Structure 1
C-alpha cells in the first residue's frame, strides 16, 4: 500500500524503537549517514515521520505503513494512541489496503483522515467486526459537524438509519449502522428541535 523502499521501512521501524534526534535514529539503522538524512527528510515531507522540537517520531501514516507489512509493534502503538485493540487496528489496516494502493499522497495526520477513502456503503464492511467500535469512534471524531449530541449519547444520522453512535442507553458502546427501536421517536424529536431552531432564526430576520 506504500511505494516505499526497504530502507524507508528500516528508518520507520527504527524511529518506532527510538524516538529522538536524527543521529540517534541513524545509529539504529544500517544505512549510510547521507542516505539516511535524505530519506528522513523525504519521509518527513510525505508525512510518515513527524519532527517536533528536534525529536523525530513515527506519525500515524508511518505506523499504518508498518502495520500493513505486519509490524506488530506499529499496530500496538496505534492501538495505544486510539485506545482500542491491536485486532481492531489490524483489521482496519487490512481493509484500508484493499482501497488504496499507495497512501504516500494521502494527507493523513490522524487515523480518521483515512475515512475519506471509504464511501458510506464501504463502511458497512466494518459492521460486526473487530474494527466496528474503532471506526464508529473515528467517524464521530472526523465528522464532528454531522454529530448530534444529546444527554443519551452522540449520533450521526443517515437517511432512515444511524450511521454511527455512542449510545448510553444501549450500553455505552460505539456502533455502526445501528438498528435502534427508538430511532423513529428519537429522529422525530431531533427534527422538531431543528425545525423550531430554524424558524426561530427566520423570525429574527423578519
Structure 2
C-alpha cells in the first residue's frame, strides 16, 4: 500500500503553489539535500502524482487530489481545488469539488479502496463511480457529476434552451440523467416537467437511446 511521508507531502504542497518545479529549486528553497529531493521527485513521478517535462516536473490532477487529501494546510487545500478546477475544466464552484472529493473518499473507505488506486486524471471515471452510489451523495457532488456528464456524453437541447442527457426508467418514462435546466440549474436524475411534451414531441428529429 502506498503511503506518503512528510517530505512527500511537503513536495506536493510546493507543486500546488508552483505547478511546475525542479528538484534543484525545491532543494534550494527548503535546504533538503538535492539527492533526497531528486529521489522524492522520482518516487512521486512513479506514483503518477507529478510528471517530468521540459521545464522539470509538473503536478498531475491525481497529484492535486492526493495533496488535497493529505495536506493539513487549509490554504493548500483551497489552492488545490482551484488548480483542479482548471485541470478538469470544471465550470462550477470550487467548493463543490471539495464535496465531490470528500464523498469519493467516503465511498472508497467503505469499499476499502485506496485513493491511489483511482486515476483522477480522467474525472468522468470518478463521476461514474460516484453516480452508481448516488443515494449517499451531497447535492454539491450531484451537481459536479451532472456537469461532468453533460460535458462528456452526447446531449439534447430542448426548445427552451435546456440541455439534457435523456434516458428512460423501468416504466418507459423519460427523465434526464443530467440536465442544465434554465429554471432549476444543473441537476442529476431530473424529472423535467417539460421533457415529455417538448422532447417526445420532437422524437422524429432526435435519436433516443433506452437505458436500462
TM bucket normalised to smaller? 0.7 to 0.9
Contact 2:156 2:166 in 1 (8 A): no
The aligned runs of 1:89-128 (5 Å cut-off) are 89-100=97-108, 101-120=113-132, 122-126=133-137
From 156, 163, 180, the equivalent of 1:154 is 163
Deviations 1:109-135 (A, max 9, x none): 143332243243x235446x2333322
1:88 paired to 2:99 = no
Aligned to 1:165: 179
Contact 1:112 1:141 in 2 (8 A): no
Distance in 2 of aligned mates of 1:78 and 1:150: 28
| Structure 1: stretches of 5+ with no match in the other structure | 197-206
Contact 2:65 2:120 in 1 (8 A): no
Distance in 2 of aligned mates of 1:157 and 1:2: 40
Contact 1:99 1:117 in 2 (8 A): no
TM-score, normalised to structure 1, is: 0.74
Aligned to 1:175: 187
Distance in 1 of aligned mates of 2:157 and 2:92: 24
Distance in 2 of aligned mates of 1:178 and 1:195: 19
Distance in 2 of aligned mates of 1:3 and 1:190: 54
TM-score, normalised to structure 2, is: 0.72
Distance in 2 of aligned mates of 1:62 and 1:78: 10
Deviations 1:12-53 (A, max 9, x none): 101112233332233344543223222212322322113333
Contact 2:167 2:176 in 1 (8 A): yes
From 145, 150, 154, the equivalent of 1:135 is 145
Equivalenced residue count is 189
Distance in 1 of aligned mates of 2:144 and 2:102: 14
Contact 1:124 1:177 in 2 (8 A): no
The secondary structure found in structure 1 opposite 2:24 is helix
Deviations 1:60-99 (A, max 9, x none): 1111112223533212332455343232121111101012
The secondary structure found in structure 1 opposite 2:164 is strand
